[in-house]
Amino acid sequence: MPTTRAKKPAAARSASPRTPRNKLNDLAPRDWLRFQKSWFIHNPPPRRRGVLAHPAKFPETLVCEFVEFFTKRGGWVLDPMLGTGSTLVACVQAGRNGVGIELNPRYAEIARGEVLAARAAAGRKSARLRAEVIEGDAFQALPLLAALELPPIDYMITSPPYWDMLHARGAATQRARRAAPELDVYYSEDARDLGNVSDYQEFLARLTALYANLQPLFRPGAYLTIIVKNVKKGGRIYPLAWDLAHNLSATYALKDERIWCQDNVRLAPYGLGSAWVSNTVHHYCLQMRRE
């Protein structure tokens, strides 16, 4: 008589579930899990000479990791405060389309050069990608981007000015930059530049409004990453990251944070012998989503 294969018990059948379809990115489950850690160490490589003019550039190597997690290949990424183009360079390297807005004409021109260099390095793989540098005010993002006829944005990653801290004359890094005329100490002298706003509450309100106004550009379910620090000024802590997260929760869903740590920063003896003052070597990567 022919034998029949016995069916596995229901418990055994459910013990090996299939991996669900990945709707967010192109990563393998192992790489997905690694990114879910709430803190990470990233020590940026030395900056190339061509982008040294910018006083607070963030590294393409870091941006690329976020872009690859929150988008699929061919997706669209926005940076409304582009600087010298880190986000667009990361997009080209990762096979994503990108658009950035930059107020300072000098930085916008540097960003265009950086994008061209990234395209040349990527070769034919970048031929169909768009990497748009727009010189203008991020508060005018909606009309500026409407002219490009872009699809809904899949992801935003950006880092705003940390209030007006680049104007603090006591910072050691700023003293070093003042000795080199070709290096900018602060972003610009433009009145529209949020890095020039001296009143904290005004700065916070304007920054919140800028990001909230971008909401119509994003597809439903799109994520946003805002990289920011809390600020020390005049012996007081201004909780910029926490205040911004709280304010933007009225527009986007706050999903959590990833804490970017640097362990290669030389420590300074602040308050030695008299008071506890931290060496702040971490940033908050605020994770939000358009629901």
Cβ atoms within 10 Å of 205's Cβ, excluding its own:
13
Structure tokens at 16: 């090996």
Q: Which phi and psi angles does 238 have, rounded to 5°?
A: -105, 115
Report how far residue 111's alpha carbon sits from residue 133's, in angstroms, rounded to the nearest whole number: 7
Structure tokens at 60: 């393409």
CB 177, CB 184: distance < 8 Å: yes
SS3 content of the chain, % helix, strand, coil (to 5): 35, 20, 45
Tell me, yes or no, if the pTM score tops 0.75. yes
Report how far residue 121's alpha carbon sits from residue 129's, in angstroms, rounded to the nearest whole number: 14
**Superfamily for the 26-264+274-289 domain:** Vaccinia Virus protein VP39 (3.40.50.150)
- Please report the sign of the dihedral spanned by the C-alpha atoms of residue 156, residue 264, residue 240, residue 197: negative
Q: Helix count (H) and strand count (E) of the chain?
A: 9, 10
Largest CA distance in the chain: 93
Burial state string for 229-255 with b = 16 or more CB within 10 A and e = fewer than 16: bbbeeeeeebebbebbbebbeebbeee
The domain limits of the chain are 26-264+274-289
Sequential pLDDT tens for the chain (291 residues): 555 555 555 544 444 466 678 999 999 999 999 999 999 999 887 756 555 554 456 789 999 999 999 999 999 999 999 999 999 999 999 999 999 999 999 999 999 999 999 999 999 999 999 999 999 999 999 999 998 999 999 999 999 988 877 667 655 555 554 555 556 555 567 788 888 888 999 999 999 999 999 999 999 999 999 999 999 888 889 999 999 999 999 999 999 999 999 998 889 998 899 998 899 999 999 999 999
